Structure 1
Amino acid sequence: MSIIGEAVLTASFELLIKKLASLELFTQHEKLKADFMRWKDKMEMIQAVLADAEDRQTKDKSVKKWLDKLQNLAYDVEDILDEFETEALRREMLLQGPAAADQPGTSTSKFRNLIPTGCTNFSPRSIQFDSMMVSKVKEVNARLQDIERDINLLKLKNVISGGTSRSIAQRLPTTSLVNEAKIYGREKDKEAIVELLLRDDLRADDGFSVISINGMGGVGKTTLAQPVYNDDRVQRHFEIKAWTCVSEEFDVFRISKSILNSVASDQCTDKDDLNLLQQKLKKQLSGKKFLLVLDDVWNESYNYWSILSCPFEAVAPGSKIVVTTRNLGVTVNMGADPAYQLKELSNDDCLCVLTQISLGARDFSMHQSLKEVGEKIAMKCKGLPLAAKTLGSLLRGKDDPRDWEFVLNTDIWDLQEHKCDIIPALGVSYHFLPPQLKQCFAYCSLFPKDYEFHEEEIILLWIAEGFLHQANSRRKLEDLGRDFVRELYSRSLFQQSSKDASLFVMHDLINDLTQWAAGGRCFRMDDKFEGENRQKFSQTLHHFSYIRGKYDGKNKLVSICDVKHLRTFLPMKLSNYEGNYLAWSVLQLLLNLPRLRVFSLHGYCVSKLPNEIGNLKHLRFLNLSGTEIQILPESINSLYNLHTILLENCHRLKKLCKDMGNLMKLHHLRNSNVDSLEEMPKGFGKLTCLLTLCTFVVGKDGGSGLRELKSLTHLQGTLKISKLENVKDVGDASEAQLNGKLNLKAFCLNGVLILVMQLKLRHVCLTC
């Protein structure tokens, strides 16, 4: 099973086609309208053959090359549309002057009328831009023509389906039989499930109760259900038992037939339809205490489950259905209560599994030379028994330490698929994600192993990269991002941190899965690539991250500065160590990467930014938290696409830009712990899209006063208002009333009446 690149391609094409379909955005330039319509038509035709191409890419190098060309084109088209939108916004603001920000619709993300009439059309910058865009559009037309021609040469087929067309690798169905002597570390889990099965007081609205065993792929859900199913106490407690492996396709007819075969095989005939099957099954189960195990369930359709469960309503009280699944959505739709969350094994138990499979023994008493490397391999499994079984099977019958060292130093995802059960086992979790969610999941490959992250951190990155899109524009992208995070958590691809419940983390093998899914579009640099081992990066690389070091200079980062299509520059940290330095020469080179959308200097001892940062016209996300920055350069005010600026713990920060009124797409300005900040800049009230603002510093003559808060009606969370001594009089504050349209709350501080809007804020802190 290989679906590399599919996440980005499918999602990218869906988004681009939707953008190009918005014809009303291009009403003033007929030539562009015709070109964009032509792009849309060709992309819809290409989209129809994508599924076939992605199925064939591993076997046909020509198809893989075609997909690579297509992916590069999708990125370039997205950048071109982005450039048009940015230039249109610049011209509109220039044409209308300072009042533009007060006009309705200026903060919308839709394109304005491109190449509008007026004096801006004849400025040297506008003429140069128009000429450059005409050239780029012609180039895209030629590339689309070549790609269209290759569809026929490669004989790609139009595959029409409701979802994905590709088939996943077939996995053997599970059975109820098990050798309990080879199961380690699950004694307490088994007793807990057996105890639930023997209880007759569980909630049972339909006459039976559902118990789910949840956990990520390979954690041992089926292996736990097997000894439970065969336990003597369970055998005596239930009159009838059945085990059915459901797997990916929830075929109600097949499952019903399997259950009837288990309880009364003589009643099944080939002529039975679903109605007859269920009638027979209901008759066999009527008044009897029944245990059913549905192993490996993926279906989230309540309707399918309600049809399957109709015959179960005739069972005797105390009947149970055990479901194993890696998806909490399944648990909810089947009404499972309780849901038992199965955790990973300890390293010692993983080691027992490894030695049992590889050496046929419980320990290394007869193979002392393998003990040390064996323990390291067990730790590599990170508690997944399937990983221990997989690596153990590769080492079966091998007692040469060199073979064990090879397995230790080889990434599981580099092993041959037919020898590695873990690849299809975890890959199927990725396979069933919607295209947009696959794109977001693959992007998580930039996070180092064991990296713990806040929900908001990944959501803001997804937004900056343009991965979040929805038809209902009234709904915030942040809300869609939260849905995505919860969906990945529900599917056991994200886990809650054991140290802090507010943080998420990925299992090491899930982290490997993200890298596999991302293909060559994302790259996370490890220390082994530094110095003489540094590699030459492909120009098709778009997203880059690395572990921040104490001194990061050209030796480490010069190669990435040559990747002109780079969209993400993301230094990461795994510890709280401070005092990291980035070479000034590298910083200057990075600002020559024109396609950057995510740019972070988080934690570096950087005291200033070059004014050239204003050249990053595509920039959406700027993280300067934890730096020693003192003044933001004025050129930042020309970055019209900025969505997020992070300035947390910038203790030396004194001034923002003099005027931030152009940043009308800014949604998040996180500026907590900026004790040296002197005032909010002029025009701050124009940032009407702001959702997050941690600190508002009341300005004097040249800054923003409290009245600027009147426009920030979408703020939520906590806001600290400081420097209240700069408030001139009560009238200055009361101007925020906007003719009484806003609900205000009055505060009295040091004899001065302060009026603050009651927004969606949880808390307002007033300080002098």
Structure 2
Amino acid sequence: MAIIDLLKSQAQESGDTQVSVIPILGMGGIGKTTLAQLIYNDKKVESLFDLRAWACVSEDFDAVRVTKTILRSLIPGRRDDNDLNLLQIELKKALNGKKFLVILDDLWNESYHDWTILFTPFEAGAPGSVVIITTRNREVANTTRTTEAYQLGLLSNDDSVSIFTHALGAKDFSSHPHLKDFGEEIVRKCEGLPLAVKTLGGLLRFEKNRDKWEEVLKSEIWDIPETRSGIVPALMLSYYHLPSHLKRCFAYCSILPKDYEFEEKEVVLLWMAEGLIQPQQKEKEMEDLGSKYFQDLLARSFFQQSNNKKSRFVMHDLINDLAKSVAGNTCFRMEDRVEGSKQGSTFKKVRHVSYLGSFFDGFKKFEAFSELTCLRTFLPLMLPLPYCNLTSYVSLELLPTLRCLRVLSLNGYCITKISNSVGDLIHLRYLDLSRTHITSLPESTTNLYNLQTLLLEDCQRLEQLPSTFGNLVNLRHLNILQARSLKAMPLHIGKLTCLRTLSDFIVGEDCCSGLKELGSLSCLRGTLSISKLENVIVPEDARGMNLSGKPNLDGLSLGWSEDIDDSKDRTSEKEFLNLLQPHKVLKELTIRCYGGTEFPSWLNRPSLPNLVFLTIENCKKCTSLPPLGKLPSLRVLSIAGMASMKSMGPEVCGDGLSQPFKSLETLNFKNMVEWENWSPCEAFFSNLRELSIKNCPKLSGNLPNHLPSLENVEMDGCCRNLVVSVASFPDQCKIKFEGSEGVVCGGEVDFSTLILKHLSTISEFESQMEVSNGVVCGGLANVQELVVYGCMELTHLWSNAVGSFPHLPSLRYLHVSDCPKLVSLVAKGQLPPTLKELRIWGCENIQILVEEDDTANSCGDSGDSSRSHDLQYLSISNCPSLKSLISSGELPTTLQTLQIHSCPELESIAKELHHNSLLKSIAISDCGNLKSLPTGIHSLSHLSDIEIWGCPSLDFLPDGELLPANLTRLDLAGCEKLQVVVNRIHTCTSLQYLSMGRCQRALVCFPEEGFPTNLTSLSIYNRSIAQGLFEWGLHRINSLKYLQICDGSLHLVSFQEMKLPTSLIDLRIVNFPNLEYLSPEGFRNLTSLAVLRIHNCEKLASFPKKGLPPSIRYLEIGDCKKLTSFPANCLHPSLLHLWINRCPDLEGWCKKERGREGSTIARIPHVFLALDLIDN
């Protein structure tokens, strides 16, 4: 494939090559995303890059959303932030020095300015990094590309026929020759558009009637111009010939935003709630019929599988447009723009509404909903969790008027209670309150007789369900996963005989449902978790549950509480657990905190032939495991916290079994504190891919020696008597050892990752390696990543490496931390020539990184040693004894990122930087002994980012030098001698971000020329800011969006004296001791201001009587004690967040105003007074 060859050539570039941008250009439905997916998932392509990420951009360009999506790909589980500057700094750090592949799918925005903002963090990547964009717009391709766009054309007729027959489920027409002529004509009418060909093929896949094919071929829809309808005729034809039940379901999906990823069950439950699934036969389950509908639409290419997660699906943009077209005015996405003249009439016809949620959803967003008295769907989607806030107007005033609602979701909002009026929504079938902060549901909820789905997942403050919960006799799905505060199930849960999904059943102590009530829930399916089993008084109750009579359950979790008193008699638990035998179809089983001494008999025989996942956790009194090798389908086995087990031998495999554990791929052991002996047979683990042993301090002996399929092995906190022979592992196995001493590195095995942590006795890494005649014998020839952490006796990694570097010839990443006796990395030698990234942290005695031997050269020549390797990223932190980096005084010429933090004795970084032309970023902090930076900084054309904090002795630039011409970010703090730099600040025409504080000499001497005119962010904070600060012409910086001024002038009384630019979006005013009022003149022209923060202005007594700008969405006030109230109309209804702290009179006024019905404050989604969240 030509584009993959191009990608490989770009990825293999080095030197000063910039990040490549390759556009894939073509019309809608031509296959741009499909091609990008093939590239992204190609294993050979994956091996070229350190990091990969995928983000959908779509028509509504949002740099914040796209940046967050990329960050979530790179850093799973990170908390969301809405500040683009902070997001980009985080992304830049994640990409710094790494070779990455990023796919930006469906880019429409032609603005070069917006593109440069989005692209800025990518510039931190290593040479060979690639960004692929897919777009329909040639102007977008021209704006972004660094290489020629890859143009996708229409398919040839032969290729179209091939795709068509594949969609039909065949190779050609040989099995149905009577359809060939019609099929080929239909393909020609698709004119080479892959999506059209595939969709029509999917439509006709199950239709073998020649008349039906002729009807499709001769339809008049082919003659409707695309310019008139906006829809490709072939796609409209595909919809037209759908069965009526699929048409209704597909049209409803028009409420899903473009690029929205959805689960099958999520959509099916919505269809059910809207009455779109009506089984004709009683024996057909609604859920099963909905799943069939979904799969039919998937087979017809109306849905397609997501690239990010296989269980999720998306609609192609053209298919989404089709859904919107056929749904007409009944479905509405709030993000869609409606012409003003049509908005009123269109809105009144709407029955189903969705919208993209945000952190603050205020009154103005829902103002027009009062007209939608017949609304049936209220569905916020894609909330930027966590902690989203919704105006009280929705729950208290709007929802009670929407009496026709069938679908209501408030998922993800920080609401703490639900109005009792929810019980009046008698048509409601779907209620989603997941991830809210509610503590209970109102009793009126049980009036919702028609309710089918109740979702309360991750409601961690929910303490109880209504006492009359048994009234919800039509409830089919109850999800209370992660509702950790629930103490019991309410009485009469057994009346809910329609339940298909019951995620959790909590056994309570007093007046609550007992286990017997589960017996009547014969339709349960999916996964059931039963917890707090210690509250069961009569073990015989387990028989009444009839678990073995629930064939649709494929997952079961049985759990007792962890905090049960050890003195409690738990002998009855064995009998009880024996009675909990599940049906043989079970695929996943977890047993947690069981108090018996033996496992149930049904685990000792092959009664669970379909079991795939088994977890046994904290069963502290069991001394042995059952013969788990008899489970033929078992793929993942996790054993943890078995505190009494000392030995595990062949008995676990099953006596006389010729091939135990034949399917096992993942084996995990954790917290087995008494486990001493493991006697496995290698043949039993021939398919094992992942092995993890953590915190098993007494385990000794040998691990299995023959694991031919092993890909990852991790050892953490194991005894030094446990022998791990690296020679037993297959090639390219990833290895991580932490606090495990018994490592034998013999053998000629290749693996790519080696992590050594807490190896307290190792003193010299080199001595652990075996080198014979210059050949690596320690299994390290292909190690690319080495992590050394907490090795207390380690003094250096290598010494006196003669000739080429022998031990790690492929090493790319080296991380060393918490090695207190480490003096240097290399004594009389050099770093590996392949090394790209080096991180050192917390090595308190290291004085120099590399003490070079004049006779040694890693390239084998006598050239400049700084050019002899490929180091691109260097980070050193918390090394208090470090005085210099490399004895030669020269940094590698390939270096792109340099970070040095908390090295107070550091005297010198390098002699000069003239040869470091690739350097992009310098960050230095808390290096009190550093007096100057090397010469040559002004010549670094790629240097874009300088951050220096807490270096009071630093003069910064040598006399006579200018700042780099392409500098975009300069952040200086605690550098009192910095004067020269600010005298020349106006010459940095590319500078966009400037922050300066505690640099007294610098701030006093700001030049008459003022600031660079391209600044977007400016922060200045210092107690000696002169009165002339506001005369420097801030209002002339037309690009300035963010301004923070702290410790202001003693003479400033009125806000109007500041002369601020009209482009400001975010303004922070902190510590102006004599500021008395905010005059309207100062705010009049700030029409874009969205965020206003005012702190420590002790004389400030009033706000402008004409109000604050209506554009303000976020208002924060702190330590302004003379403020007593807001004038009438000061707070606009568009305000979304109000934060007030240590302003006692103002807080009191706000609390009173909050109680007044219809007041502006009562409708603000998020109000924070005195550090306490007030629920609105």
TM-score bin (small chain)? 0.3 to 0.5
Of Structure 1 and Structure 2, the greater helix share is in 1
What TM-score does the superposition give when structure 2 sets the normalisation length?
A: 0.31
What TM-score does the superposition give when structure 1 sets the normalisation length?
A: 0.47
